């Protein structure tokens, strides 16, 4: 599975904080959550609503119904984010 199969879009939120956002395709939300739970370390969960993971130094937050926020540890491009997500989703 690739990022393009899971996400409708991925976009930069804030360059100075290395943060990016993504919108999951509605039919891929549950599969994304399952893969994140399997491969990433869960850092926190707020009433089953906001779930934060850490994966390879990046913070990945799932916000229902289909939003994802990725904060990269170091300066990153959109391509770097896609590569990270591809690793998570493979």
In the prediction, which pLDDT does 12 show? 96
**How far apart, in Å, do the first and last CA atoms of the chain sit?**
6
**Res 83: pLDDT:** 96
Q: In which element (H, E) is residue 46 found?
A: strand 41-46
Nearest-10 crossing angle of helices 29-39, 78-89: 80
Query: Is the CATH number 2.40.50 carried by domain 3-89?
Result: no
Per-residue pLDDT, 47: 80
pLDDT of residue 85: 97
What pLDDT is recorded for position 1? 66
- What pLDDT score was predicted for residue 3? 93
Mean pLDDT for each 10-residue chunk of the chain (90 residues)?
92 95 97 95 86 96 96 94 96
Query: Is the whole model's pTM more than 0.85, yes or no?
Result: yes
| Long-range CB contacts for residues 38-46, cutoff 8 Å, separation at least 24 | 39/88, 40/88
């Amino acid at each position: 599975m690739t990022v393009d199969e899971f996400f409708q879009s991925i976009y930069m939120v804030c360059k100075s904080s290395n943060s990016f956002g993504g919108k999951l395709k509605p039919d891929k939300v549950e599969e994304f959550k399952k893969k994140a739970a399997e491969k990433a370390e869960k850092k926190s969960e707020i009433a089953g609503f906001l779930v934060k993971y850490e994966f390879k130094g990046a913070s990945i937050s799932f916000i229902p119904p289909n939003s994802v926020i990725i904060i990269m540890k170091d300066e990153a491009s959109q391509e770097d984010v896609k590569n990270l997500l591809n690793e998570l989703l493979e």
